Homo-oligomer: A and B are copies of this chain.
Amino acid sequence: MSTRPKRGRIRTNDPEEMRRRVIDVAAVRFQGHGYNATSMQEILADAGVTGGALYHHFPTKKELALAVIRDRVGPEVRETWIKPVEKAASAFDGVKRAFGGVARALDRQGYVQGCPLNNLAVELSAADEDFRREIQLIYKEWHQSLAAKLRSDQAERRIREVDADALATLVMSSYSGAITMAKADQTSRPLRTTAKQLLLTLGALVR
């Protein structure tokens, strides 16, 4: 009547930690190979977790992916775009920092996996409405932060009048597309070139 498990595995009974580990691994894999090309078994093995444990926390693969989007992809966009822009002296400056930060990160890694938001948006948003909604929320937050910065620039008369929403969209579009092209090129060049040319446009608005 011993209570210890029959074989190997140590049982930690730390649900928070387990959840975190699983999501971390899943985030990395979904980012690296995509959602469909990643099997639950890969995640299990990598996280050092058994099926029972995982399915206790995440009843389906989809549920896990939604958690990844909410708890990892969202925060990452906030970290790489929203915060830098908010802290920056101007929208121009914020965009420059964000692009630059990502480009440097790509160069450090040596290979280009692309942006998690972009990857999942392309792979999943047409296939499943729940995924799409969750992804869309992040795009919205991102867009709002950029538009807000542009509007505050205008309010403080640092730049000429423009359609802040449209310009924010252009910034996001060009970033997203650039990172896709960087992935196809396996180089940060498209990202850097796009940044340079986009900043020329933004710079032209400065009074």
Closest chain B residue, CB of each to CB of A170: B197
Is B197 in contact with A166, judged by CB distance below 8 angstroms? yes
**Alpha-carbon separation in the docked complex, A183 to B123 (Å):** 10
**Alpha-carbon separation in the docked complex, A114 to B118 (Å):** 12
Please judge, given known A-B contacts A177-B174, A177-B177, whether A169 and B194 are in contact too, CB under 8 Å: yes
A190 within 8 A of B: yes
Is A184 in contact with B32, judged by CB distance below 8 angstroms? no
> Which residue of B122, B167, B193 contacts A180 across the interface (Cβ within 8 Å)?
B122
Q: Which residues of B contact A163 (CB under 8 A)?
A: 197
Closest chain B residue, CB of each to CB of A204: B204
A90 within 8 A of B: no
Segment touching B, from A18-26, A42-50, A71-79, A131-139 = A131-139
Q: Give the B-binding residues of A (Cβ under 8 A).
A: 32-34, 36-37, 111-114, 118-119, 121-123, 125-127, 132, 135-136, 139, 163, 165-167, 169-170, 172-178, 180-181, 183-186, 190, 193-194, 196-198, 201, 204
7 A-B pairs within 8 Å (CB atoms) are namely A125-B186, A126-B183, A135-B184, A170-B197, A173-B175, A173-B178, A176-B181
